[in-house]
Amino acid sequence: MSWIPGWTSAAGASLWSAIFFWAGIAALLFLGISEVISHRYSERKDELVSEQQATAEQRHDEGMARLHLETAKANERSAALEKEAAELKSSNLALERQIAPRQLNSADIERLVLITRRYPGETIAIESYALDAEAAAFGEQLIRIFRAETFPFDDRRMSLSVLGNIMLGLRVTGTDAAFASELRDLFNSSGLPAGDQAPSLGTGLIVGNPLAPVPVNLFIGVKPMP
């Protein structure tokens, strides 16, 4: 093994022995330092991973908080829109009730038929103001009921045109007080105000004689506003 340095002499062997000894010592020191550094880097890695996880969790929490806030605001907007829609619907229904023509429902029609059957042979005169289409439409419903029951009626709709004050609601008068009273009760209970005062003729154009005696005179005035 002559090719190994210092292998053939005591001095050389002693020298290389010392060299390798101190090299080993240096290696051990380097190993120890490397272990310390490696351990510190491992700890630093754990710290960085923890920081990254904390940052990610914080971002997640912030994102969830923003999501909850946006959801709450969206719910508030939705509730506000629903409230506005409900108010608008209520207003529209109120407006529809205001402009809808008067009419009797099926239960009131049955009551009207029973009343007319208690007064066979009597006559009902139906009157209204000229150009009052809504009153004429309500009168048409009544006429169809009377016609179906073959009950006598006198169609005087749109026969009165007056200047000045006009009458609102229904006016039920006539020579047959009992018949007129039952009809007034029917209309009032149906939400159609009916009084017992004859309409004022005032000044204007009149077709026929609205004050002519008749068992029942049903004057359909202008629809009252709610």
> Is the alpha carbon torsion for 129, 130, 131, 136 positive or negative?
positive
pLDDT in tens, the chain (226 residues): 566 665 667 776 677 777 778 878 887 887 778 887 887 888 888 888 888 888 888 888 888 888 888 888 888 888 888 888 888 877 776 666 667 789 999 999 999 999 999 999 899 999 988 888 999 999 999 999 999 999 999 999 888 877 667 788 999 999 999 999 999 999 999 999 999 887 766 545 555 566 678 899 999 988 887 6
**Could you count the other beta carbons within 10 Å of the beta carbon of residue 112?**
22
